[in-house]
Amino acid sequence: MKNLILRIFNPKQMAAALKREDVTNIEFATYTFIVISLTVYSIYLSWWNVHTTELFFFLDLLLEILGNILLVVITYSINKKGDDKRFWYRFICLSIPVGILTGLFMIILSILLSIFVTVDSTFDLIDLCILFSGLMFATFYLVKYMRIISK
């Protein structure tokens, strides 16, 4: 149980467990449910997020969808160049701890930006910058640990 909690909050621990194939099918099913639920919820939030113009609404939705597709393609190609084993198993399991770190990063970034930037017409642009930064943060860590696992 202690290892399970450590893996959920530490991508390095999760990568090591995935390399050893210590993550059980029940854990994988749980992680899959969590990832699918959070993905649907984030698309729902993007859909109902308040934007000053329709342009920013579509940019937000497009950035989120294309960013996630690109993230899957990049990590798939890294896994393919490595040992080419169990991509979805690795991707979904790694998404949990990386997603937690990314969420914390985006919250901290939002707080810092709200301190230094007044909320007015730049709100949508700040929202897109936070989303883009979060996607880059997640991509960096998923690529880093997918390389480690697939060697």
Q: What is the pLDDT of residues 73-104, one digit of tens each?
A: 999 999 999 898 899 999 999 999 999 999 89
d(CA 97, CA 141): 10
Q: Is-contact 33 12, C-beta < 8 A?
A: no
The predicted model scores a pTM of 0.82
Give tens-digit pLDDT for 14-60: 998 888 888 888 888 988 998 899 888 877 776 666 655 677 777 87
CB proximity list for 53: less than 8 A, separation 6 or greater: 124
Q: Among 125, 148, 129, which Cα is nearest to 137's?
A: 129
Structure tokens at 89: 């198993």
Q: Among 139, 114, 122, which Cα is nearest to 63's?
A: 139
d(CA 46, CA 70): 18
DSSP structure class, residue 82 = T
Q: Among 123, 54, 134, 73, which Cα is nearest to 101's?
A: 134
